[in-house]
Structure 1
Amino acid sequence: MSLITLIGYRGSGKSSVAAPLAEQRGYNWIDADDEIERVAGKTIAEIFAEGGEPHFRQIERSVMQQLLSGDQRVIAAGGGAILNDQTRAEMKQAGPVIWLKADAADLIQRIDGDSTTGSRRPALTASNSQLEEVETLLAQRDPFYRDAATLTIETGGKTVTEIVAEIIAALDADS
């Protein structure tokens, strides 16, 4: 196992878990959204504003393809990276894909607690309700997360340390 991909909705803990998980494994880690912004030279919100979601997904696909060809790495994938069939297949081929799963209420609490979310990430539906948007997108993405995941970790009520320990135990049990 030389590459681990973390998937899940925005606020599921991918970025928070990636660094300590990588440290435990002696790997490097990278946040795919940070890499997209670096490559594009603008925030995700700016990419969406200028070219819409299709343009963003093109950039995301290219970045994920590059990241998934690496080694000794934990990737915190963007919440929608699993929407691309090729990306999902490459994730599974590269190594374990861990779905950090949380319910809509937990996700909203985490998103609201992240001061960078509003400036970096656009709304993804026309909904006026944050809860409605999260529930709608979770329902739409659930089959894709299920398809991609080799391991699902429920994150509700758990600390980052507990989540990392659960992942390590599951990975060690599989090897």
Structure 2
Amino acid sequence: MSEIKHNTVTSEHDHSFILHKTVVLVGMMGAGKTAVGRALAARLGVPFLDSDAEIESAANMTIPEIFERDGEPFFRAKESQVIGRLLDEEKGVLSTGGGAFLASQNRQMITDRGVSVWLKADLNVLWNRVKHKDTRPLLRTADPHATLRALYEERVPVYSQADLSVTSDGETSIETMVDRVVDALMTRPDVLERN
């Protein structure tokens, strides 16, 4: 009876996957990039990286404060630098800000050195998730819903260029979202394989 195996429970140190490239989650604010990203990193046993958090920590300011003080172009330049550094430093799961994927040089860098996964949520799901938060500098407008809709319509064609996409419907649990992302990644053996 000494053959009993105790590894039936998946722990965050489950090494049943080998990640070859950083997984970069892209999509609108409210799509679940941070929540799904954290859970995905835990599932794969790799670090979770967040470009917005890295920028805030480097600047010692919040993103809304950076927008206010230095403007969006300055923020976007910093964002590109940080994404490049994170892609080079270690393989993991990287959550990016909603606007990061809009810059063609970021899209190219992510595709060359990682893999982009679009968390695809519809406008209603996004609005329900962001309408009660004041942490979104781009939504500090007279009509935040109209602003969100305009951003959505402008950005969806760009997000659709991501390497992979996974639907985030607002009713799916984070664990199920992680299952969907893993399934999508498994279609790319250059990115993710079972050990």
Q: Which has the larger radius of gyration?
A: 2
Contact 1:104–1:131, Cα closer than 8 Å, also in 2: no
Cα distance in 1 for partners of 2:186, 2:87 equals 21
TM-score by length of 1: 0.90
The reply on whether 1:153 has 2:169 as its aligned counterpart is: no
* Aligned residue type for 1:155: S
Could you tell me how far 1:108 is from its partner in structure 2? 1.4
Report the more deviating stretch, 5-14 or 20-29: 20-29
**1:78-89 alignment, distance < 5 Å:** 78-89=97-108
How many residues align? The count is: 169
**1:56-75 alignment, distance < 5 Å:** 56-75=75-94
Q: What RMSD, in angstroms, separates the aligned Cα atoms of the two structures? A: 1.6
The reply on whether 1:171 has 2:185 as its aligned counterpart is: yes
Q: Which residues of structure 2 form unaligned runs of 5+?
A: 1-19, 190-195
> What is the match of residue 11 of structure 2?
none
Cα distance in 1 for partners of 2:90, 2:78 equals 21
* Equivalent of 1:141 in 127, 141, 155: 155
SS in 2 for 1:47: helix
Q: Which residues of structure 1 form unaligned runs of 5+?
A: none
Structure with greater helix share of residues: 1
Cα distance in 2 for partners of 1:79, 1:108 equals 14
Cα distance in 1 for partners of 2:110, 2:90 equals 12
TM-score by length of 2: 0.81
Cα distance in 1 for partners of 2:79, 2:185 equals 27
Percent identity at matched positions? 34
Cα distance in 2 for partners of 1:122, 1:70 equals 29
* Aligned residue type for 1:47: I
Stretches of 4+ moved more than 4 A in 1?
A: none
Could you tell me how far 1:26 is from its partner in structure 2? 1.6
* Equivalent of 2:71 in 31, 48, 52: 52
